[in-house]
Amino acid sequence: MPAETVSVTGWGRTAPTTARLIRPRTYEEAVAAVRGCGARGGIPRGLGRAYGDAAQNAGGAVLDMTGLDRIHAIDAADGTVLCDAGVSLHRLMQVLLPLGWFVPVTPGTRYVTVGGAIGADIHGKNHHVSGSFSRHVLSLELLTADGGVRTVERDTPLFDATTGGMGLTGVILTATIRLHPVETALMQVDTERAADLDDLMARLTTTDHRYRYSVAWIDLLARGAATGRAVLTRGDHAPLEALPKAARARRDPLAFRPSRLPAAPAFLPEGLLTRRTVGLFNALWYRRAPRARAGELQRIPAFFHPLDGVPHWNRVYGRSGFVQYQFVVGYGREETLRRIVHRISERRCPSFLAVLKRFGDADPGWLSFPAPGWTLALDIPAALPGLDAFLDGLDEEVAAAGGRVYLAKDSRMRPDLLAAMYPRLSDFRALRQELDPRGVFMSDLARRLTL
Amino acid sequence: MKDAFGLPQSLLILGGTSEIALATARRLITRRTRAVWLAGRPSPRLEQAAEGLRALGADVRTVAFDALDPESHEAVLGKVFAEGDVDMVLLAFGILGDQARDEREPANAVRVAQTNYTGAVSAGLVSARALQTQGHGSLVVLSSVAGERARRSNFIYGSSKAGLDAFAQGLGDALHGTGVHVMVVRPGFVRSRMTAGLDEAPLATTPEAVAAAVEGGLRRRAETVWVPGALRLVMSAMRHVPRAVFRRLPV
């Protein structure tokens, strides 16, 4: 099995560490990799879209699972798929859309693996309706620290520890996933603008239930009366009858046609994203959006994954990389959300990817992130002076409000706040201790936060 | 582990009573550092330094370490690394010596060289290997502008720092791409116990300023840090001053 020592970072490109990268292509090779990963342990890795250090393991092994990417069985009548953990959501869409099925949950990128989606218990724009990814996982096969493979069923402690468990309970080999039926590969989208944060929250609260997918892009550089101004895009899969009679799409309504722009160059100067450039972009983006437009047809990539069109967009943040900050605070804690939005606006963080949405019911994963409430996600260049202390301050507000920070995006949190944010942390630690007493599964995230 | 900003959670200080090192530790404890090892010759001062850092909320342990006994470095430092990851090693031991006396008593001069250079080569290599094994970490080496160009007034100390500086740069190149970051810090005249009673040089600085520069360098993953930053320019000019002129400069 090929293994090379490489420098590894998350999507945010901060805190590189070196590890032996092993790329198993069979289950036997995966078992051998786990058995032989050595004193500093190993961690599975998919397509490296976790922003922080969740899929890196300094001095140990990193198991690149993208070589295990077979789709074993599709039940096109019932809408389920059994596939390897290394299969990407992109590939699933390619294969499943022509059959009239869509992945149950997709994040802002299609380039995540099924294993990563379960390990981070990802959410999408449909969380308020569909919950997180794990809700649609019927069962999975887990390669554990003893080198054995277990079938993990729903409603078991191991299932709840693994969904959202950041790869620390074992290596997911396969999963059976329930799919969502669609008539077309197009989205029917309503767009509207919100003038400020209160307007935005009111619109989301009163009308979100009417949409399967809902998200608000928020301009965090707007200040004063415009603080929290936003563009809402919400919609659902377009039914066949919504397509114009004469349109080309009518002939092939389930065709999936993603397009890609050239990649961002490998070396970009530091400081491209300043308050001025981002402020300008945000203002244009806000004004470009229609005040209100209903029923627009959009392709899946445009609606769900606009950034996937620009490979390596993470490079625009330059050498120091960037930090993604995502937290959730419960309903009834709107004051905390307001205060944090105002603090970010006043702090003038140059963030052009800020997203607000409402979560629905939580799923049982012990370290699963989504909980009923408001979630805000934003990107900030890591080189911004004083950013660490500023985000520590936000963490404290979030924790005090009973909220939490998303581990799949974290790269900087203070370890002592973790237990307050994740009340099942002690259960997770106890299960890990029992299942993996020698600490075979280990990551930089786990070391940093003592998971 | 270090965080996204390159700031360490655990710190090993070689030369645990160094004022610059302790100022750096205090600064890093207000950021992310929770665990500190102070390595040095056992003394009340070392224990006092540990107490001082504990008062800031860090978990501090001391370990007996002697720069002049390189034979022991492997065992002593090996024990520290066996206890857990060290995110940053700060190589901060060093003595100034007494130039006039050391010129008269070569045995004393050798002691300066052995502490500042030989001891650092040994401790630096042992630390570097341990960091490489754990796949991450920063090795911060306290060099000095005195090593940039030897001066009449302290060339024994200066030459030992010149050796250390060259060693640390080479080590940094050797470790490039291994996940281990080597950073050479070149302070000018620092007002401290070491320089008490000496005439202050221009652009004099403080241990706290050096600590701030170390933190800044970690954030940028810098390879070289001058304190104050203006010294980079001053010294690049100084390097090219002809010796006949340099000799007569009042530095």
Which residues span the domain enclosing A291? 186-412
What per-residue confidence (pLDDT) applies to A189?
Answer: 97
Residues B142 and B224: their CA atoms lie apart, in Å, by: 10
Residue type for position A342: H
pLDDT band at B251 (very low <50, low <70, confident <90, very high): low
Same domain for A365 and A274: yes
Residue of A40, A57, A382 lying closest to B4 (CB–CB): A382
Same domain for A167 and A303: no
| ipTM summary value | 0.93
Identify whether A124 is part of a domain.
yes
Helix (H, G, I), strand (E, B) or coil at B64: strand
What torsion, rounded to 10 degrees, do the Cα atoms A339, A344, A347, A349 define? Answer: 180
Same domain for A209 and A165: no
Percent share of chain B, pLDDT over 90: 90
- The pLDDT of A121-126, averaged and rounded, is 98
Identify whether A446 is part of a domain.
no
For B130, the closest chain A residue by CA position comes to: A59
B129 at A interface, C-beta within 8 A: no
Residue of B4, B177, B179 lying closest to A58 (CB–CB): B179
pLDDT at A269 over 80: no
What per-residue confidence (pLDDT) applies to A246?
Answer: 76
Q: Give burial (CB, 10 Å; 0-12/13-18/19+) of A332.
A: exposed
pLDDT at A249 over 80: no
Q: How many CA atoms lie within 13 A of B193 on its CB side?
A: 9
What per-residue confidence (pLDDT) applies to A421?
Answer: 98
| CB atoms A387 and B5 under 8 Å | yes
**CATH code, domain carrying A264:** 3.40.462
Same domain for A228 and A171: no
Mutate to test the interface with A, among B5, B85, B132 (most CBs of A within 10 A): B5
B189, B193, B21: which is closest to B92 by C-alpha?
B21
What per-residue string of b and e applies to B137-150 under the rule 16 or more CB within 10 Å gives b? bbbbbbbbbbbbbb
pLDDT tens for each residue of A378-421: 999 999 999 999 999 999 999 999 999 999 999 999 999 999 99
Helix (H, G, I), strand (E, B) or coil at A4: strand
User: How many domains does the structure of chain A reveal?
Assistant: 2
- The pLDDT of A227-238, averaged and rounded, is 96
Same domain for A196 and A178: no
Same domain for A249 and A350: yes
Same domain for A244 and A168: no
- DSSP codes of every residue in A10-74: -TT--S-EEEEEE---SHHHHHHHHHT--TT-EEEESSS--SSSTT--TTSEEEEGGG---EEEE
pLDDT band at A293 (very low <50, low <70, confident <90, very high): very high
pLDDT tens for each residue of A32-79: 999 999 999 999 999 999 999 999 999 999 999 999 999 999 999 999
| CB atoms A388 and B85 under 8 Å | no
pLDDT tens for each residue of B52-109: 999 999 999 999 999 999 999 999 999 999 999 999 999 999 999 999 999 999 999 9
- The pLDDT of A104-118, averaged and rounded, is 97
pLDDT at A271 over 80: no
Model pTM score = 0.95
Same domain for A192 and A270: yes
The CATH homologous superfamily for domain B10-246 is NAD(P)-binding Rossmann-like Domain (3.40.50.720)
Q: How many CA atoms lie within 13 A of A11 on its CB side?
A: 23
B250 at A interface, C-beta within 8 A: no
What per-residue confidence (pLDDT) applies to B138?
Answer: 98
pLDDT tens for each residue of B226-237: 999 999 999 999
- The pLDDT of B8-26, averaged and rounded, is 98
**Catalytic status, residue B117:** no
Identify whether A307 is part of a domain.
yes
What per-residue confidence (pLDDT) applies to A318?
Answer: 84
Categorise residue A304: left if φ over 0, alpha if ψ from -120 to 50, beta otherwise. alpha
Identify whether A339 is part of a domain.
yes
Closest-CA distance, B25 to chain A, in angstroms, reads 17
Same domain for A200 and A150: no
Where does a domain end: A182, A204, A229? A182
Provide CB contacts within 8 A for A403, sequence distance 6+.
Answer: A327, A328, A329, A330, A333, A336, A371, A373, A421
pLDDT at A267 over 80: no
Same domain for A195 and A178: no
| CB atoms A17 and B136 under 8 Å | yes
Are B138 and B2 contacting, i.e. CB atoms less than 8 angstroms apart?
yes
Where does a domain end: A149, A164, A182? A182
What per-residue confidence (pLDDT) applies to B248?
Answer: 86
Identify whether A119 is part of a domain.
yes
- The pLDDT of A339-363, averaged and rounded, is 93
Closest-CA distance, B30 to chain A, in angstroms, reads 10
Residues of A in contact with B32 (CB under 8 A): 388, 414
Where does a domain end: A141, A161, A182? A182
A306-310, B41-45, B156-160: segment of lowest average pLDDT: A306-310
Average pLDDT, chain A: 94
Residues of A in contact with B220 (CB under 8 A): 320, 383
pLDDT at A259 over 80: no
Identify whether A306 is part of a domain.
yes
- The pLDDT of A258-287, averaged and rounded, is 80
What per-residue confidence (pLDDT) applies to A440?
Answer: 98
Identify whether A429 is part of a domain.
no
A150-154, A210-214, B149-153, B220-224: segment of lowest average pLDDT: B149-153
pLDDT at B156 over 80: yes
